[in-house]
Amino acid sequence: MDLYFRFRLIIESAVFIIGFPFVLYKLYKLYKDTKK
């Protein structure tokens, strides 16, 4: 059970690290589109 929890934590961290810049980029594009 402990191993499974640690494994899930690593996967969630990886998803967050990969997904976070992508979300920032999407928000930035949306912001630029509304400005003009």
Question: Would you give per-residue pLDDT tens digits along the chain (36 residues)?
Answer: 799 999 999 999 999 999 999 999 999 999 999 987
Looking from the CA of 23 toward its CB, the CA atoms found within 13 Å total 6
Q: What is the pTM of this model?
A: 0.52
Cβ atoms within 10 Å of 20's Cβ, excluding its own: 10
CA pair distance 23, 16, nearest whole angstrom: 10
- Indicate the domain borders of the chain: 1-35
User: Could you identify the residue written with the tokens 């934590």?
Assistant: 9
Helix boundaries (H) for the chain:
2-35
In this predicted structure, what is the pLDDT of residue 21? 94
In this predicted structure, what is the pLDDT of residue 8? 97
In this predicted structure, what is the pLDDT of residue 35? 85
CA pair distance 13, 30, nearest whole angstrom: 26
